[in-house]
Structure formats: structure tokens, C-alpha cells
Amino acid sequence: MAGPSHYSLPRPTFARAPKLLIVVAPYYRDIADGLIAGARAEIAACGAACDLIEVPGALEIPPAIAMAARMTEYDGHVALGCIIRGETTHYDTVCNESARGLMQLGLSGLAIGNGILTVENHAQAWARADTAQQDKGGGAAAAALHLIALAQRWAGQGRGVGFARDLIDPAGTGAR
């Protein structure tokens, strides 16, 4: 019996080549390197550019992205790291709070791909980080690139503030 099939969207295209910031927590260096390789390959395949910064741990990824969004001109961000379950509840805190922080940033309008692995052991992590297996770094970059493409598509289509004239006066006669 075959396993489930997974669908991936085709790579997006861009009117202007985007620039992304990869933010990685390299606590497990081999896993981080695999995630980075996948993210860089996906970004390059779309004709985009990227920079890379490292932070101490997964909890520092959302604040680093928030600072970059305030102080730099990146079109999107890729969050990479690995959290392996240990013997304490610290795992749950780090998993939940790093994901919550990234989600809040995304809901505020940032294009973010979440490639922070949350796994039980090193073997699971490597299967997800390896570009020849699940390539979750490439998947996180692809997610950010798709969101950037949407932002470029919708740029300049803002709704404005206040009442739209056609809602006040549908006939456009000037009557209210």
C-alpha cells in the first residue's frame, strides 16, 4: 500500500527578484546545515537572493525576524532550526512559543516560511532536513517565496481608509 501523496505548488515567478533573510538556530549543526542547503537551493531556483544570520536558539528566531522587518528591506524570511524532545517540558515551550511568534509575525503581514523542525529524535530530524529526503528547509523557503509572490501581486491594491464612493452612492450621481 502506497503512502499519501504530497502536492507542491509550482515555483512562483516574480516581477522583481526578491531578497530573503534566512534566520537559523544552529543548535544541531548538521541538521541546520541540511536545512540551510535546502532553503538556499530553493531560493536560487526562483532567481531570488538571500542572506543568512544565526541566533542562539529557536526562541530567538521570531525576535530576530521582527528586528529585521523593522530595520532592513527583506521581502521575506525563512525560519530554520530543530527542536528535539528531551526529558523536560522545555520542549513544549520552545515548540509552541517559536511557532506562535512566527505566526504572529506572519499575521502582521510578513512573508515567513517556518522550517523549525519539532521531532522526537535525531533520525527524524535528519530525514526532514536532508535535501535528498523531505527537504523541509527547501519547503520553508518555498512557503516564504509563495507569500512574497502574493504580496507582489497584491501590491498597490490597498483598500484605503474610510468609505468607498460606490458604497455611499452606487449610481455615482453625487447624491447621498
Active site residues: 90
How far is residue 166's CA from residue 148's CA, in Å, rounded to a whole number? Answer: 31
Residue 76 buriedness (CB in 10 A; 0-12 / 13-18 / 19+): buried
Dump the DSSP string for 101-133.
Answer: HHHHHHHTT--EEEEEEEESSHHHHHHHH-TTT
Q: Which of 56, 67, 68, 46 is nearest to 24 (CA)?
A: 56
Beta bridge partners, 120, equal none
CB atoms within 10 A of CB 97: 13
How far is residue 120's CA from residue 2's CA, in Å, rounded to a whole number? Answer: 24
